[in-house]
Amino acid sequence: MKAYSLDLRQKVLAAALRGDRTIREVAELFGVGTSFVNKLLDLHRTGQVLAPRPHGGGYPARLLPRHEKLLRSRVGQHKDATLEELSAHLGEQAELSVSVSTVSRALIRLGLGRKKKHGGQRAQ
């Protein structure tokens, strides 16, 4: 979710400081939560900046563009490869150990569909 803009934050704070509406009414007027309005008031009282903080980070991507290229190539050659086989292929070719979940998310992100293997014949 994207952070609220500084402009919106200033308008919400100004409306809350006017005092002609309750915090709930200010929140409903601007389509934000009451906790957000209270947070802005707290920031104002303590003299802190209203601007949104930068993203806190997260884990770095395990699959780099070169790994995605390897996956794309392998799926092109072996359309029925399982997630385990694709993960093993990355291990052999790029010396990268990733889970099948990581491979699955990468395939979805790359728009690569997979053919599902069936264990036996289907009933007709």
Nearest residue to 63 (alpha-carbon basis) of 111, 102, 93? 102
Q: Render pLDDT for 41-95 as a digit per residue (tens, 0 to 9).
A: 999 999 999 999 888 888 888 899 999 999 999 999 998 899 999 999 999 999 9
| Domain ranges for the chain | 6-45, 65-110
Tell me: pLDDT of 121 over 60.
Answer: no
Neighbour-count burial for 71-89, b at 16+ CB within 10 Å, e otherwise:
beebbeeeeebebeebbeb
